[in-house]
Amino acid sequence: MSISVQTFILGPIQNNTYLVIDEESKQAALVDPSTPSKQVLDYLESNTLDLRLILITHAHFDHISGVHWFRNRNNRAIPVAMHALDLDLWRDGGGSKDFGFELKPGADPDFLVSDGQRIPLGKNFFRVLHTPGHSFGHVTYVADHDRMAFCGDLIFHHGIGRTDLPVGNEADLFSSIREKIFTLPEDTILYPGHGDKTSVGEEKANNPFL
């Protein structure tokens, strides 16, 4: 069992949108589609991949602006997963009004995830960690077998997520990092919502905020 990751840097805030691929089944999950992207569709088609899931780490507008476009690109709707505690943020446009515009993300996510839940992708699975702090319902999707974690805006390469927005909480953010992320194996690769990938060990040793 193994998965691979393709990174697409999309949108005006340079978001990382990840395409996670189960190599054996050719099933794929799209993590945080920040904008519509023909580049992602072309990659799916040229590699004969079957997009099965859209996984949302949190509902800020720059992580969900492409959801409606992607979930309706095939003959069947692509199910969208998110934590229930970010539903209000989703329905309010992901905080877009605070930045001078209004996003309409479309229908609510198709299913709501919870801490510890396993989400299958081919013969692999993601394990959900509820990691609040940047938002109430922020989650991290962990692929334990391949030592990967898709951590949204919780932690970055030598940085941490913002907590000054209305849904942020600094104490929760530090707790999520220390009790959830830093208990993963040190060679776990962290795929953040912005910037370069990093690892648990690197951030434990060298993140100046922690």
Region 89-106 average pLDDT? 93
d(CA 96, CA 104): 9
Express each pLDDT in 46-80 by its tens digit: 999 999 999 999 999 999 999 999 998 766 789 99
Q: Where are the beta strands (DSSP E) in 47-168?
A: 50-55, 80-83, 111-113, 118-121, 124-130, 139-143, 148-152, 155-156, 159-160
Q: pTM of whole model > 0.75?
A: yes
Region 102-106 average pLDDT? 93
Average pLDDT, the chain: 96
Q: Where are the beta strands (DSSP E) in 58-154?
A: 80-83, 111-113, 118-121, 124-130, 139-143, 148-152
Could you tell me the strand order of the sheet in which 198-199 lies? 118-121, 124-130, 139-143, 148-152, 189-192, 198-199
Q: Which residues contact 153 (CB under 8 A, 6 or more apart)?
A: 57, 58, 60, 63, 134, 138, 161, 162, 192, 193, 194
Question: Pick from 151, 150, 124: which is nearest to 135 by CA?
Answer: 151
Q: What pLDDT is stored for residue 98 in this prediction?
A: 86
- The gap from C-alpha 67 to its chain's centroid, in whole angstroms, comes to 12
Higher pLDDT: 148 or 76? It is 148
- Residue 1 pLDDT > 70, yes or no? no
- Ordered by start, the domain boundaries in the chain are 3-206
Region 15-39 average pLDDT? 97
Q: Which amino acid is present at 202?
A: E
Distances (CA, A) of 181 to 18, 63, 188, 190: 19, 20, 9, 9
d(CA 201, CA 118): 24
Region 186-205 average pLDDT? 98
d(CA 49, CA 9): 20
Express each pLDDT in 170-179 by its tens digit: 999 999 999 9
Q: What pLDDT is stored for residue 76 in this prediction?
A: 73
**Quick one: which H or E segment has residue 10?**
strand 3-10
HEC assignment per residue over 183-201: CCCCCCEEEECECCCEEHH
Both tokens of 164, joined, read 């000054």
Region 110-118 average pLDDT? 97
Topology (CATH) of 3-206: Metallo-beta-lactamase; Chain A (3.60.15)
Region 101-109 average pLDDT? 94
